[in-house]
A = this chain, B = another copy of it.
């Protein structure tokens, strides 16, 4: 789980950049994450990382109480949900709402239903 593969599982079609996609550096255009979403998700994940670190430090204290740890873990899960919402919103705006025009709606919807199942 530590080294997630950075590959897309969607069949990518050449797309019109006006429809919310960015040109890839290869011969094919790709569905890339909007830059604004990347920056915002990254900032939120950096905060979540700091929070995880502080829980790891809490756990060095033999006096720590279970429920205080559980509350902190829930708080990080909330922060990660917030990061996930940033990513999802960017995806809906840039890719899903324009899928009919590009012709890849079926793939995107299958993929989205799969992702939301584990919410």
Task: Please tell me the number of chain A residues within 8 Å of chain B, measured between CB atoms.
Answer: 90
Whether A55 touches B4, Cβ cut-off 8 Å, given contacts A9-B68, A32-B63, A83-B73, is yes
Q: Shortest CB–CB separation between residue A119 and chain B, in angstroms?
A: 5
Centre residue among A55, A63, A73, A112 by max chain B CB count within 10 A: A73
Whether A63 touches B2, Cβ cut-off 8 Å, given contacts A97-B99, A97-B108, A100-B19, is no
Interface string of A3-29 (1 = CB under 8 A from B): 111111110000000011010110000
Q: Taking beta carbons and an 8 Å cutoff, which residues of A are in contact with B?
A: 1-10, 19-20, 22, 24-25, 30-33, 35, 37-39, 41-42, 45-56, 58-81, 83-85, 87-101, 105, 108-109, 111-113, 115-119
